[in-house]
Amino acid sequence: MQYSKDEIDRVLVSNERIQARLDELAERINQDYAGRELLLVCILKGAVAVFADMLRRITIPCQIDFMAISSYGSSTKSSGVVRIMKDLDHGIEGKDVLIVEDIVDSGMSMRYLLDTLKTRKPASVRLLTLLDKPDRRRVELHADYIGFTIPDEFVIGYGLDYAEKYRNLPDVCVLSPKVYM
């Protein structure tokens, strides 16, 4: 896909690479959870693309639910303050939960979310993240399934936004500094 240089610096992870990596991760997940049932939890809004693509690759019995968390503001830096905007529709006691996230940056959103969900007594909770940015980590957090480890650059597309735009791009791209400077 052709992008405007004024908005997109470059493609970081193409949709083709994403799809190939999701094939690999799904194969592992289907093996790891063989004989069990899975509750897939989509963290709105950024994870919608990876969630939908992953869901269609899961071959074991599964249910889905949605949760929205948000840090305040729309800046390119995480504020560290986490709010639950929408909670799960159902309880998770005794369930094997797989959280699907688009990106782990500081890790503060996911640390808060994992700690919150663990108090609800699930059988297990694991985390899949499409993107991992370990250079920006501010708390101890390791995802169980990682799509791509990426450098500290502001990324958009394939669900990820800048000020709610660009979620519809098929590829994960680096935002041009011209947009926010």
Tokens matching residue 144: 């169980």
68-107 binders of ligand PRP (CB under 6 A): 70-71, 78, 101-107
> Smallest distance, Å, CB 101 to ligand PRP?
6
Q: Are 75 and 132 in contact (CB under 8 A)?
A: no
102-141 residues in contact with ligand PRP (CB under 6 A) are 102-110
Lay out the site mask for ligand PRP across 34-73 (x = CB under 6 A, - = otherwise).
---------xxxx-----------------------xx--
Q: Which two tokens stand for residue 101?
A: 């996230």
- The closest residue (CB) to ligand PRP is 46
Our finding on whether 153 is near ligand PRP (CB under 6 A) is: no
Taking the complex as a whole, the smallest distance from the CB of residue 167 to ligand PRP amounts, in Å, to 8
Task: Check residue 155 for interaction with ligand PRP (CB under 6 A).
Answer: no
Would you count residue 157 as binding ligand PRP (CB under 6 A)?
Answer: no
Q: Known catalytic residues?
A: 105
Q: Which is nearer to ligand PRP, 109 or 176 (CB)?
A: 109
User: Residue 13 or residue 108: which is nearer to ligand PRP going by CB?
Assistant: 108
3-state secondary structure the chain: CCCCCCCEEEEEECHHHHHHHHHHHHHHHHHHCCCCCEEEEEEECCCHHHHHHHHCCCCCCEEEEEEEEEECCCCCCCCCCEEEEECCCCCCCCCEEEEEEEEECCCHHHHHHHHHHHCCCCCEEEEEEEEECHHHCCCCCCCCEEEEECCCCCEEECCECECCECCCCCCEEEECHHHCC
Q: How far apart are CB 87 and ligand PRP at their closest, in Å?
A: 15
Binding residues (CB under 6 A) for ligand PRP: these are 43-46, 70-71, 78, 101-110, 161
